[in-house]
Amino acid sequence: MEINLVVLNVGNSRVAIGVFVAGNLEYVARVSQEHRQDWRGRIGDAFSRVKGRPSVGVAAASVNPPLNELIEHIVKEQTNCRTEWVGKDIELPIKVLTEEPEQTGVDRILNVAAAYEQMGKACVVVDAGTAITVDCCNDKGEFLGGAIAPGVNMMLEALHEKTAKLPRVELAVPTGAFGQSTQQAMLHGVYHGIRGMVKELTENYATALGYWPEIIATGGDAQRLFEDWELIHAVSPDLALYGIALAYSAYQAKQKT
């Protein structure tokens, strides 16, 4: 992917910004919605890293449509470029075999596309963000579908908000076999519950495929949840950014033919 590109991944909690220079991801920033006043400066700074290079573009993907117009305005203001959206202006980079492909989250598809580009075979992507998704593709790189569950913070907040006495707890790796305090018991439930879900789902996918697929983890909580777990092939925090760049690169190649 010999491209000069600013990529934006608009999520439920934050915007991830990446810069590909001559095809290499050389800069990444993540800015929460609570700090959206910083988006202009971060997007402008990102664009400055490719400004003046040939065929510079801006590509984006979003699971948060209410923010798209604002993002487009900021991009135009800071870069004088038009935002090209994956799934709207740019075709998805892989075939989607779900019942309603247009309703399948573009972030899920791009994660799997990027993982398949790296692995070249059937694989599973677990994205541990606001929600947790566990999705699978086959050896042809076709998106088969997957599962969606509450993310870490959603689980912990629900325990606090929907009960009388459970405290607010931040994610940490629990210690020991038993949760010997209320906080540790909550962490054990969420941490091991998520890992158990990933294992169970992947076993189901392996049964359907007829072989065990490699698992790639991404998302803001992936490092703490899955680091050094023998079930995980790799933790790749920037997977969606690579997926956007992959879709853009394929789109550009088609435009030239």
| Domain 101-241: top CATH class | alpha beta
Catalytic residues: 107
Residue pair 113/93 in contact (Cβ under 8 Å)? The answer is yes
Distance CA 144, CA 205 (A): 10
**Does the fold of domain 101-241 match that of domain 4-85?**
yes
Distance CA 32, CA 124 (A): 27
Q: What are phi and psi of 7, to 5 degrees?
A: -115, 140
pLDDT tens string, the chain, 257 residues long: the values are 579 999 999 998 899 999 999 999 999 999 999 999 999 999 999 999 999 999 899 999 999 999 999 999 999 999 999 999 999 999 999 999 999 999 999 999 999 999 999 999 999 999 999 999 999 999 999 999 999 999 999 999 999 999 999 999 999 999 999 999 999 999 999 999 999 999 999 999 999 999 999 999 999 999 999 988 999 999 999 999 999 999 999 988 877 76
Distance CA 42, CA 196 (A): 37
Longest dimension (CA), the chain: 64
Q: Which CATH number fits domain 4-85: 3.40.720.10, 3.30.70.380, 3.40.50.300, 3.30.420.40?
A: 3.30.420.40
Count of H-run helices and E-run strands, the chain: 7, 10
Domain residue ranges in the chain: 4-85, 101-241
pLDDT at 252 (0 to 100): 85
